Amino acid sequence: MKTCATPAGEFESSDGLKAICSKLGDRDFCADLGLRYPYLGGSMAKGISSVAMVEELGRAGMLGFFGAAGLPFSTVEAAVDHLSGADFPCGFNLIHSPHEPDLEKALADLYLSKGVRLVEASAFLALTLPLVRYRLHGIHRLPDGTICVPNRIIAKVSREELAERFFSPAPEKFLRELVADGSLTAEQAELSAHIPLAQEITAEADSGGHTDNRPALALFPTIQSLAIRLQARHNYSVKLRAGLAGGIATPSAAAAAFAMGAAYIMTGSVNQACRESGTSDEVRRMLAETRQADVSMAPAADMFEMGVTVQVLKRGTMFPMRAAKLYEIYRAHAGLDDIPPAERDKLEKTVFQASLSTIWQLTRSYFLVRDPRQVERAERDPKHLMALVFRWYLGQAAHWAKDGESARKIDYQVWCGPAMGAFNEWVTGSFLDGPDRRTVASVAQNILYGAAVLTRANILRYQGIDMALEASHMQPLEDTQLKEYFS
């Protein structure tokens, strides 16, 4: 084998790297969406993936999704209005809300009425009418015979059954309903048999927030294989594509995703740690200290009763422990009055810092405005009342974190996956080490550039050139150094 003693610096500055940076992923995907790079910033609830983050990614030739979940309707509307004049691609989260179907419908209607052309559909357990209506709205045939679908869905899933539904045409039963209520003409319904509900699916492996902790190496090939199989089955005129999310925050992870054939990569946890994210400086500081094992699963506020969990930070906060305790109590008792007095007392003093009846009054007032049916049900069903009270804590814990409420630091709920620890280890000793200089664009460019370095090193290695590992392990570069590759 020929040995090449190329020093890292010389290797990295080579012209070929710029070419590789611009060839990663699926170029047709980039062209279809108007992107320069196959790098997507995933939606992060409550505006954590903020308007500023979406703008920064967009200006850097990448794609950001605004984190609409859990925000008041008016805030989402303002974000849509703000970004509607953008001269770069951007998208919005359409999150499934099994407990609040009206909310999901309202969000889909808002996107339709404002002409939003791209959504990230996530947390879906099954397809829903608002989702199908969004996708098929305005479908028509062009004079040359091709089918034009103005609205695009990039679906994020971690289960193959669901991926198959998204890669298939809309189900008949929804088409019948949409034709019946006048949302579609019979001709449009017929056209929809020739297009997938989602042309792209992001395979979501072990990530921050909602995750079923699937390993990327097992999940991605399955979703990709489905794309190939369903493409052949339906003989679509467009190409089905799979991207990968979950655990990506380093050049190695990105290079591995592209080597597996990912059309694009999506990041989340690492973006929350960046300056543009809609969280607090306190959380950014905590995230900068996070290591691999500093995350754990905890009950989710939105699907608490179903036992659904989310991945959160455990270092520096007692949230995962306290939330798990609440779930345990919920499972064991029929209602608040059934909780043993000593236990109840402890909850009121530590977790809630108020009496449970006060918390119920706050919760009641909130739901009387948002969804009065919840109050009616809770007043009939003590177990539901208990769930709503416990969900108050879970919901507030995310707000305390996002708002940097220092008196409640011990209760912060910070959604975060192991990618954060991987990133922190990689950037140790560089300008990205602390929270202050982390921007989404410079993090993204460093990940992509590093992936290009690794990819090139592997190509050379397979050609018989003995590359030292250090030559392909790059430290993050300053924006001025990266300019050469991303201009």
Ligand X SMILES: Cc1cc2nc3c(=O)[nH]c(=O)nc-3n(C[C@H](O)[C@H](O)[C@H](O)COP(=O)(O)O)c2cc1C
Phi, psi angle pair for 295, to nearest 5° = -125, 155
Burial of 85 (0-12, 13-18, 19+ CB in 10 A): exposed
Q: CB under 6 A: which stretch of 132-140, 241-249, 383-391, 402-410 binds ligand X?
A: 241-249
Site string for ligand X, 103-122 (x = CB under 6 A): -----------------x-x
Compute the least distance from the CB of residue 76 to ligand X, in Å: 12
Smallest distance, ligand X to C-beta of residue 123, A: 6
| Residue 309 contacts ligand X per CB under 6 A | no
- Interaction between residue 386 and ligand X (CB under 6 A): no
> Residue from 151, 188, 272, 442 that binds ligand X (CB under 6 A)?
272
Which one among 130, 208, 450, 476 touches ligand X, defined by CB under 6 A? 208
Interacting stretch for ligand X, rule CB under 6 A, among 8-16, 132-140, 245-253, 326-334? 245-253
Residue nearest to ligand X (CB): 268
Binding mask 388-427 for ligand X (x = CB under 6 A): ---------------------------xxx-x--------
CA distances from 88 to 35, 80, 268 (A): 8, 14, 20
Question: Helix (H, G, I), strand (E, B), or coil: what is residue 332?
Answer: helix
Q: Restricting to residues 53-112, which ones interact with ligand X according to CB under 6 A? A: 67, 69, 93, 95
With a CB cutoff of 8 Å and minimum separation 6, the contacts of 432 are: 438, 442, 443, 446, 476
Pairing of strands 63-66, 91-95: parallel
Taking the C-alpha atoms of residue 203 and residue 215, their distance in angstroms, rounded to an integer, is 10
Q: Could you say which of 198, 245, 273, 359 contacts ligand X (CB under 6 A)? A: 245
Q: Is 278 in the site for ligand X (CB under 6 A)?
A: no
According to the binding rule CB under 6 A, does residue 476 interact with ligand X? no
| Selected binder of ligand X within 12, 56, 104, 204 (CB under 6 A) | 204
By CB under 6 A, tell whether 320 contacts ligand X: no
Residue 451 near ligand X by CB under 6 A: no
Question: Which CB, 269 or 439, lies closer to ligand X?
Answer: 269
**Which residue of 183, 192, 269, 445 would you call a contact of ligand X, by CB under 6 A?**
269
Q: Does 246 bind ligand X (CB under 6 A)?
A: yes
Instruction: Provide the token pair at 192.
Output: 């929809």
Rounded Cα gap, residues 106 and 104, in angstroms: 5
> CA 462 → CA 338, 371, 457, 468, distances in Å?
67, 60, 9, 13
CA atoms of 114 and 304, how far apart (whole Å): 32
Nearest to 266 by CA among 246, 282, 236, 286: 246
- Shortest Å distance, C-beta 88 to ligand X: 19
d(CA 411, CA 316): 9
Nearest to 194 by CA among 254, 250, 262, 147: 147
Question: Degrees (nearest 5) of the Cα angle 351, 353, 355?
Answer: 105
- In the complex, which residues of this chain contact ligand X (CB under 6 A)? 42-45, 48, 67, 69, 93, 95, 120, 122, 156, 204, 207-209, 245-249, 266-270, 272, 415-417, 419
